[in-house]
């Protein structure tokens, strides 16, 4: 997506970046949680550098 979270998370858990993106979109559409989780993981990514 925009902040690089999908690629970073995909590398961390051993999944393809596109699968992580699909999971975020589905989480957003089904439960409304995708955006919140994405922002939290972005903060974690920033703090882990």
Tokens of 33: 């949680």
Q: How many domains does the chain have?
A: 1
Domain limits for position 31: 5-48
Task: Give tens-digit pLDDT for 20-37.
Answer: 888 888 888 888 777 788
The whole-number pLDDT of residue 16 equals: 93
35 contacts 28 by C-beta, under 8 angstroms: yes
Residues 6+ apart with CB under 8 A from 5: 38, 41, 42, 45
Predicted structure pTM score: 0.71
What average pLDDT is seen over the chain? 85
């Amino acid at each position: 997506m925009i902040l690089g979270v999908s690629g970073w998370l995909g590398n961390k858990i051993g999944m393809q970046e596109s699968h992580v993106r699909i999971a975020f979109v589905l989480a957003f559409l089904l439960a409304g949680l995708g955006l919140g989780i994405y922002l939290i993981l972005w903060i974690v990514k920033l703090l882990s550098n």
